[in-house]
A and B are shown apart, each in its own frame.
Chain A
């Protein structure tokens, strides 16, 4: 039996407290109204030379020149293109970025009218334009603490979902090497319940307009947007929440059922429990395949309601699946180093590291397939997604490819390295950070736009959920013996040698 060490407890609680402070700071420091945004924008523009609000025409002009630089994604670029050489290079691209935001279509029509009118009107319009811009930035900054919270909650929750999928595969495949790791996996999936509740609460809060993470949930936006209206049969709040509840319910049900059977198998050595789990796992995998795909459209893709990608479900799956396997490896390594898993040997780690390596490459394959197909065909309504990311998220967007692909492929390709604990740990930390960035890159561009930053709010959110995760997982570890001794494959697993 594992006993929860006070060190782990302290670490978990510290992370949670620091994380809560970070989250609170994020909400506290978000601007309350557009005047705050004016100040932020004035401070952002160089040297504080543009601290006036748009009172005079002159000031308006100044603001105009700054705005495209600071917020190139915005539609100012088109207008500025008439006189500014800097924007010429962007040319068509900035037209493309129009489609990006739901607001953009509104702004664009405002533009077209302004161009038709005379010079005087154009100046007046520039003023309105600036106001709209400030309004837009205001929404983005208000979204930021919510996005930070959501990404943290989603990422950590999906890790335990990834482990659940891995666990089900091990049962259904009757894998001989992994039963010795079942208790670790079961403990990790214990986070599904609290994590799922948090995710659901966050979705409900979005549904009742507490935030603007999902722009299609805003009736005012949906009223002006034909694309969102066309999707409202699927993207409407009640159906959305029902789907979320059904999926979470299904996953938690499977987890609870197999865990119960697994414990019963230990106590009774009655193989009917083994068969029950085998069947449940096969059924769950079919359910998971469908629910995971729809989950990824709902929870991740629908922040960009104008954009769609057919392989998105697989892409999201690969991302959290590899994170889940990495987490299994890290927790197993920790427990082994504390002397709790004497039946785990190097070969188990070797297998986990092979999975980390293989699924990392699989993730890259999907990432690249999605990117390359859209880049190649360059259809405006698709490619804006990547245009936006390459322009404003260049480092995280390509940095995560280095972290999730180049680094693992160079480190974990070596057979000997796959058996060395500190190398697996190092690779695991890089992979987890890389996949956090991946989720960051999926959510932030649509919700926060170019106002993103990985700061206190983001790190706080990850720290809080990581702390909660550690606490829940290690508490769950204390509740059952670490060796699933009733499993008929356990002897093979204990003597697994590669």
Chain B
């Protein structure tokens, strides 16, 4: 899904002295563990998901085809 949502609240200003070694990007944490759940095998978006998963494609690979 690459629908773009528009948000109306502004982003914060960069604080003084903020720096990152690698191209202005800094990874500071990682995600919490995911839960495993069953997706319902119904609808066009699921079929697209199943197609990607069975052919081991990523989103962008799938779009190119």
Tell me, yes or no, whether A binds B.
no
Residues of B within 8 A of A (CB): none
Residues of A within 8 A of B (CB): none
